[in-house]
Amino acid sequence: MNAPTPVDEAGPDRIAGPDVVDLGAERRATGIDDYLAGLDARLVGLTPVKQRIDEIAALLLVDRVRTRVGLATGPPTLHMSFTGNPGTGKTTVASAMGEILHRLGYLRSARVVSVTRDDLVGEYIGHTAPKTKDVLQRAAGGVLFIDEAYYLYRPENERDYGQEAIEILLQVMEEQRDDLVVILAGYADRMERFFGSNPGFRSRVAHHIDFPDFDDGELVRIGEMLLADQQYRLSDDARATLFDYVGRRRSQPHFANARSVRNALDRARLRQANRHVTAGTVAVDDLSVIEADDLAVSRVFNDRPDDARESR
Ligand SMILES: Nc1ncnc2c1ncn2[C@@H]1O[C@H](COP(=O)(O)OP(=O)(O)OP(=O)(O)O)[C@@H](O)[C@H]1O
Ligand SMILES: [Mg+2]
């Protein structure tokens, strides 16, 4: 057998020689792992999304090292699209992207400026360009998150100022791609149509990240985390009822994943408070407990899904 090469001997304490770069040490130096571990703990599920974030982190790490050792390397394009159903965590993850890309040395700021069409497009002639440029200036060096990006494009209006905003955005996405990351977000089918009508956007977006619906167990865990943040918890029966709830709620109109759970639990807290006030006294421990009944009176358990009217 050949003598092992230094790479074969590599252990955790290995000191990288001049021919080897210790990417683990590089990664630790960014502090990104602490941040991602925190995000992982805070965000239930979303495994494919977390994997894509890891891939982007790896790409940027290798890119930094390549730059340092003098290899040809243009800064990678990092504009992204986030597609998924309501309440699947798109806005939540976008707000973490600034921090992630800043820690990895790609962006000079961790700031995320979040906008929709109305922040970019004016109502009168001459208003759109200054509005869009003002937003771009605020976002420069960080992330610009454009929620429901497809509303920018309104082909049915003959003179739509959205087109003007689109042209400015496309230019900046090209020219300032190492100083601004644009994230376009929205529901998958409409985003697909939007990219179809605006190939300029499609070609500038390097990372398309799809946010899956949460399964029932994930929704219950999200609910328990939301409650724990506010020092509430579910009784065992209530946990079973919430499980049942999310299974039914899913097939009713206006289901919005994690947001539907949040809304259901807000209403449960209301019922819990009402129950205690009606009883007149309450054990201190019970102040923190949501019982099955607080959820079970929901209309979702009738066949008249009034709760389905919840707004987003
Ligand atoms: N993976 C998750 N773990 C825990 N809580 C989550 C998770 N994803 C989302 N949430 C919570 O659910 C709520 C809705 O999430 P968010 O606003 O990010 O969804 P969205 O995809 O942007 O929805 P929309 O398309 O309707 O704008 C937020 O309160 C957020 O804190
Ligand atoms: Mg959102």
Please tell me the least confidently modeled range out of 2-6, 41-45, 131-135, 271-275.
2-6
Residue 88 in contact with ligand 1 by CB distance below 6 A: yes
**Mean pLDDT score of the chain:** 89
pLDDT at 53: 94
The answer to whether domain 23-211 and domain 216-309 are alike in fold is no
Where exactly are the structural domains of the chain? 23-211, 216-309
**Residues listed for the chain:** 312
Is the C-beta atom of 87 inside 6 A of ligand 1? yes
| Ligand 1 in reach of 43 Cβ (< 6 A) | yes
Query: 89 in ligand 1 pocket by Cβ < 6 Å?
Result: yes
3-state secondary structure string across 272-311: HHHHHHHHCCCCHHHHHEECHHHHHCCHHHCCCCHHHHCC
Average pLDDT score over residue span 155-166: 85
Q: What are phi and psi of 254, to 5 degrees?
A: 60, 30
CB 97 within 8 A of CB 112: yes
Residue 185 Cα: closest atom of ligand 1: 25
Residues 43-72, buried b or exposed e (16+ Cβ, 10 A)? bbbbeebeebbeebbebbbbbbeeeeeeee
260 lines ligand 1 (CB under 6 A): no
What pLDDT digit, counting tens, does each position of 188-207 carry?
999 999 999 999 999 999 99
Residue nearest to atom 31 of ligand 1 (CA): 92
Which residues line ion ligand 2, judged by CB < 5 Å?
91
Q: Is 98 in the pocket of ligand 1 (CB under 6 A)?
A: no
Mean pLDDT computed over 284-298: 91
Instruction: Say whether pLDDT at 16 is over 70.
Output: no
- Name the fold adopted by 216-309: Helicase, Ruva Protein; domain 3 (1.10.8)
Percent of the chain with pLDDT over 70: 91
Give the CATH architecture of domain 23-211. Answer: 3-Layer(aba) Sandwich (3.40)
- What spacing in Å lies between the alpha carbon of 191 and ligand 2's midpoint? 14
Condensed to tens digits (0 to 9), the pLDDT of residues 138-160 reads 999 999 999 999 999 887 877 78
Whole-number Å distance, alpha carbon 43 to ligand 1 midpoint, is 9
Output the CA 279–ligand 1 centroid distance in Å.
35
pLDDT of residue 214 exceeding 50: yes
